[in-house]
Amino acid sequence: MRLLVVEDEDRIASFLEKGLGAHGYVVTRVASGEDALAALAGDRPDLVILDLGLPDIDGLEVLRALRSNGRDVPVIVLTARGTVDDRVQGLDVGADDYLSKPFAFEELLARVRAQLRPRGDGPTTELHFGDVSVDLLTRDARRGDRQIMLTSREFSLLEEFLRHPRQVLTRQQLLSSVWGLGFDPGSNLVDVYVGYLRRKLGEAAIETVRGVGYRLAAPEG
């Protein structure tokens, strides 16, 4: 999947390029509205992450130009303008989603995945493995008939396990996908959150594969 990041702050643009690249996305960076329009006039990206505070053309004008040309590429607006009026204006102009700065990378990643999900009939919004399930739209997690209350980070961790239900996930993989870290900070962050999930789902819900990482336990029977 090819993403176009329109962001003039180099620190943020670099962070997005590296973080999204680590998840397999091909990222093109531009720093101005003119460059964004030029990029959009060429090969169509699969999704655009658009900052509004650009140095030449306001991001909303870029969005208007994009929609006036009939381009239906998904657009996530990423901006420091976080009032209700700003969000409403962005959505009215044609944004598909709106995320205010500062933002959590894993939330942006989840929104990117949601926008890139197939739009065909009956797209799945649920992940299941055994009696463990999550609804990606309502952020509801369950084990059997029991609802599990999870923090945002715990939900993201469980989602990652459910997307790879029979795969052993290393700590580094989990750090990258859930925390957006391309390096091991030398802490037991993953182990701590796996512990949190075990306390809520049951100690046997997540297996430790010694020397490798973790995986969801196979359903009984």
Q: Is the pLDDT score of 88 beyond 80?
A: no
Those residues with Cβ within 8 angstroms of residue 123's Cβ, 6 or more apart along the chain or in another chain: 117
Q: Tell me, what's the pLDDT at 220?
A: 61
**pLDDT tens-digit profile of 57-82?**
888 899 888 888 767 788 998 878 76
Q: Tell me, what's the pLDDT at 221?
A: 45
**pLDDT tens-digit profile of 23-54?**
888 899 999 999 999 888 877 888 999 998 89
**pLDDT tens-digit profile of 110-150?**
888 888 876 554 455 789 998 999 988 788 899 988 999 98
Q: Tell me, what's the pLDDT at 111?
A: 84
Same fold, 2-116 and 126-216: no
**CA atoms lying within 13 Å on the CB side of residue 23:** 25
Domain 126-216: assigned CATH number: 1.10.10.10
The total of other beta-carbon atoms located within 10 Å of residue 158's CB is 26
For the entire predicted model, the pTM comes to 0.56
Percent of the chain as helix, strand, coil, to the nearest 5: 40, 20, 35
Name the range with the highest mean pLDDT among 157-161, 179-183, 186-190.
Answer: 157-161
Q: How large is the average pLDDT for residues 190-196?
A: 92
Lowest pLDDT segment from 94-108, 170-184, 197-211? 170-184
Q: The domain at 2-116 falls in which architecture?
A: 3-Layer(aba) Sandwich (3.40)
Q: Where are the domains of the chain?
A: 2-116, 126-216
Q: How confident is the model at residue 1 (pLDDT cuts 50, 70, 90)?
A: confident
